Amino acid sequence: MFHFFEKNREYVRCEINELPAGRWHIVITEPGGYERTEQFASSETAHQRWRELQTGFVADGWFGPYGRE
């Protein structure tokens, strides 16, 4: 699933996926194209981190998340 945040006509894209063996990752792509990946051992820890990211983006003035599959 993809989620987007928007600010000043720029976008941050967050992709959340399940990997083999029950692991999860969140890929965050910044407006300039820089990409970082965070990996998690469970869906619970990935979800907790996703909530932290959302809170941080909103606090920094980003609008969203806007979801897309």
Residue 67: pLDDT above 90?
no
Q: Is residue 19 part of a domain?
A: yes
Closest CA to 42 of 60, 58, 30, 26: 26
* pLDDT tens digits for range 30-63: 999 999 999 999 999 999 999 999 999 999 999 9
pTM of this prediction?
0.87
In the chain, the amino acid numbered 6 is E
Q: Is residue 2 part of a domain?
A: no
Q: Is residue 57 part of a domain?
A: no
Q: What pLDDT, on a 0 to 100 scale, did the predictor assign at position 68? A: 67
How many structural domains comprise the chain?
1
Q: In which domain, by residue range, is 24 found?
A: 8-39
Q: Is residue 53 part of a domain?
A: no
Q: What is the 3-state secondary structure (H, E, C) of the chain?
A: CEEEEEECCEEEEEEEEECHHHCEEEEEECCCCCEEEEEECCHHHHHHHHHHHHHHHHHCCCEEEEEEC
Q: Is residue 33 part of a domain?
A: yes
